[in-house]
Amino acid sequence: MSNDVAEGPAGGTEPSGPSLQRLALIGAVARAATEHQKAQIQPREDAPREALTAAFEKSKQPTLVVDIDGEDIGQYTVGVTKDAFQIGDPDAFEKFAEEKDEIDIVVTPKPAFVKAILARARRNPETGAIFDSQTGEEIPGVTFVRGGKPTGTVRWTWKTFKGQPVGKEVLMAALRSGRLNEYLRETPELLPSTQPGTGSE
């Protein structure tokens, strides 16, 4: 008797499509490739993050355009923090919230009030005082935090044309032609000949 999960119609004809065993084997290969990529290739993808963040600290330039022989393929963008206001003196702010009758039963400023106040907060560049842009009233206990510091994240975006990632096509063409081999000698796992489907048959 056949070991297939489902037999074909009478007469012993095989069911259409690949067998479950074949599908499972292909799935296992895909899983192995995925695990290989995570272990061997992912660190290479993440490698620029630390260097780009360090470079930003010196140059304050948040983007790095990547090109191949003068043809742009995309760019890295260093994530940076934004200017913000936060509660620097909880006691002073709590007293302020209490005066406005914006205290919850747990004796803490209502979250909605805090969010609204911080959204309306502005700083006097001459005195450094923090005030409510809606009422002009000084807000005690709020601190201005200057942004522009790296968040530790780096974003990659492909060069696009009419919505298509043309930079990726340029990169892959250069990779297949061997133009990038000199860069990848220390990372043979990224060379085309080591990738599934790209080696000689």
Condensed to tens digits (0 to 9), the pLDDT of residues 75-94 reads: 999 988 888 998 999 889 98
* pLDDT at residue 197 in the model: 39
Q: How far is CA 9 from the centre of its chain?
A: 51
* Helices 111-120, 90-99: crossing angle, 10 deg rounding: 100
* pLDDT at residue 198 in the model: 40
* pLDDT at residue 122 in the model: 95
pTM of the shown model: 0.45
pLDDT tens-place string over residues 159-173: 888 888 888 888 888
pLDDT tens-place string over residues 17-67: 777 777 777 777 677 767 777 787 788 888 888 888 888 888 888 888 988
pLDDT tens-place string over residues 117-159: 999 999 999 999 999 999 999 999 999 988 888 888 888 888 8
Measured CA to CA, the distance from residue 160 to residue 74 in angstroms comes to 8
User: The tokens of 30 are what?
Assistant: 């895909």
Mean pLDDT score of the chain: 80
DSSP E strands in 130-193: the ranges are: 130-132, 142-145, 150-158
